[in-house]
Amino acid sequence: MQPILIIYTGGTIGMRTSSEGYQPCDGIQTLIESSLSMAALAQLQPYQVHEFDNLIDSSNALPSNWLEIAQCIKDHYQQYSAFIVLHGTDTMAYTAAALHHLLGENIKPVIVTGSQIPMCEARSDASSNLLEAALFARSGKVAQVCISFAGKLLAGNSAKKVHTSAMAAFDSLNRPPLALANIALDFSQNTVTMSNAKTDKSFEFPSLQEKSVAVIFLYPGINDSVINAAFLDSQTTAVVMLSYGAGNPPDQNLCLIKALESAQQRNIPVINITQCYSGSVSQGTYAVGSVLNKFGVISAGNRTLEDVVTSLYIKD
Ligand code: ASP
């Protein structure tokens, strides 16, 4: 049996307390060996660990970190059966979506996980999250990038961090979980199964340097300067606009209308996402939204912010 590669990038899972609060700490292999029960370690075997030199709190993650993880998977793709990425929870959904865009589907399992409580602490959820990630990775039923957290396996491009402190910190509100770690692993129908996975896949990654994605959250009373900073900055290559309800903007805001017109003239894509937690954009159902169709704004449908932002960095 080929081993699993556990890629440790930082995050609470391996953190320890300092005078300034939790901070990333090296030595995850020793921590795993001392924290998991014998039975859990036996289930994890065979595995190897690749620890990044620059361990981060994922709040500091950059697009270059997504590429670093993808490159690590590419470099080790032949030698391992699956990849578990240990990551901070704060931007885990961005990284999982980015890896989905970079690596595609029909690949060996790439399962991103972490924990709400550090592995070194008594009530930690780290061991169960790691073990469940390994069980999903070895199930033979996963051939894509996923997040495994608190018993749920979620598609990497539709997950979200939904709670700051609950153990069940992740959900995918517009798509049911791919599987649940109940007494058995219960899979739904919509996983990409391993029988289609390419074991000799060659990956090509784009350069992300020249991209600058602006995100603007509309709210009553929004200033012109906030709108202009997002839409008119010369660096901006795409704008993600979080609008109200079914994708509705304030069409009486003349600054916004001018900014949308300018973006269209400069070929800057504008993607319209709802501020609602779930459901889909239906652009133009209301008259206020029809202006978006006029200026070529793209509806995000039911995609998450994380999915849209990362795809704008990665795809042309
Ligand atoms: N701030 C931490 C991080 O994202 C939170 C966590 O891992 O749960 O790295």
Write the pLDDT tens digit of every residue in 200-224: 788 999 888 788 999 999 999 999 9
Q: Give the pLDDT confidence of 101-118 residue by residue, as tens digits.
A: 999 999 999 999 999 999
Tokens of 300: 């995000």
Cβ of 12 closer than 6 Å to ligand 1, yes or no, is yes
Residue 188's pLDDT is what?
Answer: 92
Residues whose CB falls within 8 Å of the CB of residue 192, separated by 6 or more in sequence, listed in order:
105, 106, 142, 143, 144
User: Does residue 249 have its Cβ closer than 6 Å to ligand 1?
Assistant: no
Ligand 1 centre to CA of 124 (Å) is: 14
Q: Is the CB of 14 under 6 A from ligand 1?
A: no
What percent of the chain clears pLDDT 70, i.e. is strictly above it? 98
Q: Which domains does the chain have, with CATH numbers?
A: 4-196 (3.40.50.1170), 213-311 (3.40.50.40)
- CA of 52 from ligand 1 middle (Å) equals 16
pLDDT score recorded for residue 38: 97
Look up residue 67 and give its two tokens.
């590429």
CA gap 136, 77 in Å, rounded:
18
Residue 195 — very low, low, confident or very high, per pLDDT cuts 50/70/90?
low
With a 6 Å cutoff on the Cβ, whether 121 touches ligand 1 is no
Is the Cβ atom of 90 under 6 angstroms away from ligand 1?
A: yes
pLDDT, average across residues 278-300: 96
CB of 9 closer than 6 angstroms to any ligand 1 atom: no
- From the CA of 207, how far away is ligand 1's center (Å)? 26
Tell me the percentage of the chain whose pLDDT exceeds 90. 92
d(CA 134, CA 4): 8
Take residue 57 and report the two structure tokens written for it.
């709190």
Mean pLDDT of 148-153: 98
Give the mutation target among 13, 20, 58, 162 for probing the ligand 1 site: most ligand atoms within 8 A of CB: 58
Mutate which of 12, 112, 121 for ligand 1? The one with the most ligand atoms within 8 Å of its CB, which is 12
Count the alpha carbons within 13 Å of 99 in the hemisphere toward its beta carbon: 31
Which candidate, 70, 115, 71, places its Cα nearest to that of 97? Answer: 70
Average pLDDT over residues 52-63: 98
Which residue do the tokens 């991209």 mark?
211
* pLDDT at 210 (0 to 100): 81
Closest CA to ligand 1's atom 7:
88
pLDDT score for 180: 97
Q: Is 58 close to ligand 1, i.e. is its CB under 6 Å away? A: yes
Backbone φ and ψ for 53, nearest 5 degrees, come out as -70, -40
Judge if the upstream peptide bond of residue 176 is cis by omega within 30 degrees of 0: no
Q: Which residue out of 20, 57, 170 has the highest number of ligand 1 atoms within 8 Å of its CB and is therefore the one to mutate?
A: 57
Nearest to 299 by CA among 282, 314, 286, 316: 282
Q: Is the pLDDT of residue 260 over 70?
A: yes
* Three-state SS at 181: strand
Distance CA(224)–CA(256), nearest Å, equals 8
Which residues are identified as catalytic? 12
Q: Which CB contacts under 8 angstroms, 24+ apart, belong to 32-37?
A: 32/6, 32/119, 32/130, 35/119, 35/120, 35/124, 35/126, 35/127, 36/127, 36/130, 36/131, 37/127
For the chain, the average pLDDT equals 96
Instruction: Give the whole-angstrom CA distance, residue 65 versus residue 61.
Output: 6
Indicate whether residue 306 lines ligand 1 (CB < 6 A): no
Average pLDDT over residues 123-140: 97
The predicted model gives 228-247 an average pLDDT of 96
| Angle between helix 63-76 and helix 92-103 axes, rounded to 10 deg | 50
Protein residue closest via CA to atom 8 of ligand 1: 89
Distance 295 CA to ligand 1 centre (A): 39
pLDDT value for 108: 96
